[in-house]
Amino acid sequence: MTHDQSFTNQKFKLVGSRVNRPDGVDKVTGRAKYGADASAPGQLVALFLRSPHAHAKIKKLDTSKAEKLAGVKAVITSADLPDHTAGAQLDVLENCMARDRVLYDGHAVAAVAAIDKETAKKALKLIKVSYGKLPHVTDVDEAMRPGAPLVREDIFTRGVDPKPTEPSNVCKVSTFGHGDIEAGFDEADVIIEKSFKTEQTHQGYIEPHACLASVGPDGNGELWVTTQGHYTYRTVCAALLGMDMAKLKVTSSEIGGGFGGKTHVWIEPIALALSRKANRPVKAVMTRDEVFKASGPTCSTSMDIKIGAKKDGTITAGSAHIRYQDGAFRGQWGQLGAMTAFACYDLKNVQSVGYDVLVNRPKVAAYRAPSAPMAAFGVESTMDLVAEAIEMDPVTLRIKNAAKEGTRASYGPTYGPIGIGPTLEAAKNHPHMRAKLKKNQGRGMACGFWFNFGGQTCTDINISADGTVNLTLGTVDVGGSRASMSLICAEELGIPYDQVKANIADTSSLGHNDTTEGSRGTFSSGMATIFAAREAIEEMKERAAQTWDIPVEEVEWVEGEARAIGQKNDNLPPLTLKDIAARAAATGGPIAGHNEVVADGAGVSFASHICDVEVDPETGGTRIIRYTVIQDAGKAINPDYVEGQFQGGAAQGIGWALNEEYIYGDDGRLQNAGFLDYRIPVCSDLPFIDTEILEIPNPNHPYGIRGVGETSIVPPLAAIGNAVSNAAGVRMTHVPMSPPRILKAIEEAEA
């Protein structure tokens, strides 16, 4: 059945209210089960042997002694895995388990399953690997230089004409934009050109990757796993291991944070392979060190930004050359950065070129609005320099050039109704903008863009005989979506919120749902929930019509009950959902609603952030004094959790801007693979984070919903960069703006 997904501006009774989440008690009592919290009788413990080298040939790999150790039940190397040499899954598999070469520090080379951790540890020590070290490169700019060590010999640059004949670390070049930038720069009164760098960061979810895998010789398997997308994990694991998808039941545990890092498989296919070989359940849990080294952080970047403007603030041209490293496997992160770089603005002449570059670092995965924060750092920092050069207030400059409905986006298409203008106006009028600053303090602001996605979604509603309702969802709840979906379901059915119980189904209980990524959960599952509820309502109207013995056309659904329309039906008292549910057995059996949809039309999202910092000129240390997030949510279903997304994204951005970075030694090894040396913000680092939710309805969703999860991490690097630059009196161009970098910048400016 197709449904109209247009925005209808309906008046809500429940949607928009602050309700407690249905999984709250489980989570405050320790009862909620996460990836590492499940066990099975007879389970084995899996451990991984990982490369100590950044780049090396595996000359010899001998597992025979480990296999003979008492208590070891299975050992896996690439030789035990299907050969996907020609297949689309090769990169995924090779990242899970190295073949003839290791491509980064931490790359897995073997795995064991043993009766306990002690035995598994002993077994790892018995595996003999002989490496032939190869030259490595970990810096994105160095990897692009002629003569740089080649990470892969089979990668030829895509997106250039003619096709190259020599392999390269540049796997892709992508150009976006329109107009004539040279003519645009010729029109400019001022042109600012600046180069920027950002360092690699990790999503930093507190729960390491963990799973419990169980596969029998009959080909039936189960996987309990912390993931943002259990259907995607099923698809990938089944393809990698040659299993039947229907026979692999994947259950998503409660997930202890993902932010993009749990959209890819890492240890899971290997845990399944170990279980299949041992014919016993296998539990695999990454250590924090492994999470940093061998899951998927985001890119480090380097970029050149050029913006030209007239004295009245009109931007005449913008160009960006941005270089993103994808780790040791081909990615599209530079391309994505190029698409987002100038997306906030209405530009006649714009060009952004993205380079995707291989280095000897872990395979890059998505991190919350992937690629957008770094490009925004470059562009939004340059925007402040333009404002300074033409002596215009930075917010006014942005408002003057903001994209609006009908603007051709820098990445191509024409925008519908969007919220960049309103978030900027709200920033300009916010009391934060007029607050007094003290000595050594500075204020900065920046705006940001993210696409948001929809995608495949499948949802069930089942009405119990007592009138309570099971809402069965397939999009993993990463931060409170069961509450929002229950609100939507209750709103549609016209029943109280606590009459709905939402559950996340395993892969055998519901059709495919795309991964919870791209801020798609509330948009997509919200849409499917609305349509499933409406289907259940149609069924309940049928049941009421039967009960009354009148045509269904004479039944309407209002406020949770069926009412008979027309004078001749005046004597019929309404039938509530509970009444109809109680009689279901006698009127045709169970009552359900179902919807499957490809939810396209996710509205793009914009945010503007304001930040005050204090920089200590003696130490270079920065404190966040005040922080305000203003973002368009389309429609906030449960405002508490929308605010939570705004605050969480800002906090991650603050960590990225000031502290967090992967530090590689000359040996190509990661030097800070732990939370002590990779320091994410703690409670005492931050102030309260103010939020303002704007609601500019998405025309392609019945409730006007846009995604809200990701955009909040886009502006912070630039907002803080501008604030620190204003406080310290020197332009910061390298993230993170750690104390040594700030001191160095101050010293260089003074010299």
Partner 1 sequence: MQVNLTGSLRSSANGEAVVEISASTIRELLSKLLETYPGMEEHMELGIAVSIDGEIYRDSPSKKLPAGSEIFLLPRLQGG
Partner 2 sequence: MTGTLVNTTVNGDAVQFACPTDESLMDSLRDRVGLTGVKEGCGTGDCGACSITLDGELVCSCLVLGVEANGRNIGTVEGLADGDKLHPLQEQFINHAALQCGICTPGFLVAAKALLDKNKNPTEEEIRYALAGNLCRCTGYDKIVRAVQAASKDLRKKK
- Name the residues that contact partner 1, by CB under 8 A: 88, 158-161, 172-176, 203, 259-261, 263, 332, 335-336, 338-339, 354, 366-370, 411-416, 450-456, 517-520, 598, 600-602, 700, 709-710
34, interface contact from partner 2, partner 1, none, CB < 5-8 Å by kind: partner 2
- In the complex, minimum distance from the CB of residue 123 to partner 2, in angstroms, rounded to a whole number: 15
Could you tell me the two tokens for 323?
């270089």
- In the complex, minimum distance from the CB of residue 307 to partner 1, in angstroms, rounded to a whole number: 21
Which CB, 41 or 413, lies closer to partner 1?
413
17, interface contact from partner 1, partner 2, none, CB < 5-8 Å by kind: none
Which CB, 132 or 416, lies closer to partner 1?
416
Region class of 521: left (phi > 0), else alpha (psi between -120 and 50), else beta: alpha
- In the complex, minimum distance from the CB of residue 111 to partner 2, in angstroms, rounded to a whole number: 19
DSSP 8-state symbol, 701: S
With 0-12 / 13-18 / 19 or more C-beta atoms within 10 angstroms meaning exposed / middle / buried, residue 615 is: buried
- In the complex, minimum distance from the CB of residue 707 to partner 2, in angstroms, rounded to a whole number: 15
- In the complex, minimum distance from the CB of residue 256 to partner 2, in angstroms, rounded to a whole number: 3
Whole-angstrom distance, CA of residue 655 vs CA of residue 202: 10
- Beta strands 210-215 and 221-225 are antiparallel
Which CB, 23 or 356, lies closer to partner 1?
356
- In the complex, minimum distance from the CB of residue 6 to partner 2, in angstroms, rounded to a whole number: 31
576, interface contact from partner 1, partner 2, none, CB < 5-8 Å by kind: none
367, interface contact from partner 1, partner 2, none, CB < 5-8 Å by kind: partner 1
Q: Three-class SS string for 276-323? A: HHHCCCEEEECCHHHHHHHCCCCCCEEEEEEEEECCCCCEEEEEEEEE
In sequence order, the 6+-apart residues with CB closer than 8 A to the CB of 435 are 612, 626
640, interface contact from partner 1, partner 2, none, CB < 5-8 Å by kind: partner 2
How far CA 564 is from CA of 490, 553, 585, 591, in Å, comes to 22, 9, 21, 20
**Which residues form the interface with partner 2 (CB under 8 A)?**
18, 20-21, 23-25, 27-34, 36-37, 116, 118, 203-208, 254-259, 285, 287-288, 478-480, 640-641, 643-644, 647-648, 650-652, 674-676, 680-686, 688-689
Which CB, 21 or 701, lies closer to partner 2?
21
- In the complex, minimum distance from the CB of residue 316 to partner 1, in angstroms, rounded to a whole number: 20
For residue 641, which amino acid is it?
Y
Identify the residue whose tokens are 């930075």. 394
751, interface contact from partner 2, partner 1, none, CB < 5-8 Å by kind: none
Could you tell me the two tokens for 645?
């997304």
Which CB, 106 or 467, lies closer to partner 2?
106
415, interface contact from partner 2, partner 1, none, CB < 5-8 Å by kind: partner 1
Whole-angstrom distance, CA of residue 252 vs CA of residue 264: 14
Using only the alpha carbons of the chain, give its radius of gyration.
Answer: 27
**492 and 531 Cβ atoms separated by less than 8 Å:** no
52, interface contact from partner 1, partner 2, none, CB < 5-8 Å by kind: none
Q: Which of 224, 186, 179, 486 is nearest to 348 (CA)?
A: 179
336, interface contact from partner 2, partner 1, none, CB < 5-8 Å by kind: partner 1
Which CB, 177 or 560, lies closer to partner 1?
177
HSE of 346 in the Cβ direction (CA atoms, 13 Å)?
18
Whole-angstrom distance, CA of residue 548 vs CA of residue 296: 60
Which CB, 38 or 173, lies closer to partner 1?
173
Whole-angstrom distance, CA of residue 388 vs CA of residue 10: 45
Q: Which of 701, 707, 741, 694 is nearest to 721 (CA)?
A: 741
- In the complex, minimum distance from the CB of residue 725 to partner 1, in angstroms, rounded to a whole number: 27
- In the complex, minimum distance from the CB of residue 33 to partner 2, in angstroms, rounded to a whole number: 7
